[in-house]
Amino acid sequence: MKVMTAIKRVVDYNVKVRVKGDQTGVDIVNVKMSMNPFDEIATEAAVRLKEAGQATEVLAVSCGVPQIQETLRTALAIGADRGVLVQTDVELQPLAVAKLLAAVVEKEQPKLVILGKQAIDDDAGQTGQLLAALLDWPQATFASHISIAGEIATVTREVDGGVEVIDLTLPAIVTTDLRLNEPRYVTLPNIMKAKKKPITTVTPDELGVDPTPRLRTLKVVEPAARKAGVRVADVAELVEKLKTEAKVI
């Protein structure tokens, strides 16, 4: 069974994000970039399936600029066997990414596609669901456990009321939650091995996909600064402030 995982290159979670002066987006010049944390979890899940003998190959796929090859190398160091970069300079939105991934799926024919539930830059949380719709495959989102038995994937997913366990007939789409696993530390020997693993580059035109954005960002601004808290002497003063200043009662 071939397992495919999707990778996104984002601003590292330790970096304080800065908005561009013209408010057209986030400034990424000379900013540390890394793999989206949820995609690390997805890659780790795919590699563990291979280590358990339930998968024969792990394919890591990403879409975007040439520098993303560095991020794909991280996925290869975790344990993916090879990578595919859909190279484009166009600003990619969830629908375009889903269409590009669907085209790669049609070409590679994986039985299972594992994605992070969302990316930490736009927090859209749409790509997995859109991909499932385009392929007409069953899906399980927010997975905290995955097991495979024959042609059935059993997924424990986190919902508002607790957990839900569902069976999916393969091929299927799964998006990962934080509690699915803890990605392994990438060692230097594995980083060196990853340099020898193949990465294939294709273009949207070769896949027959138009990635042109459907949405236009009007403005990006910093979140409003939080006001400092105040200490009140008693309940009466608290109630008065809730009435006059917060206007919540």
Which pLDDT score, from 0 to 100, does residue 21 have?
Answer: 81
CB neighbour class for 204 (10 Å; exposed up to 12, middle 13-18, buried from 19): buried
d(CA 35, CA 244): 47
Helix 127-135 with 94-108: angle, nearest 10 deg: 50
Domains plus CATH for the chain? 2-244 (3.40.50.620)
> pTM, whole model, 2 decimals?
0.85
Which pLDDT score, from 0 to 100, does residue 223 have?
Answer: 81
Mean pLDDT by 10 residues, the chain (249 residues): 94 85 82 92 96 94 93 95 94 94 96 94 91 96 93 92 92 94 92 94 94 88 82 90 81
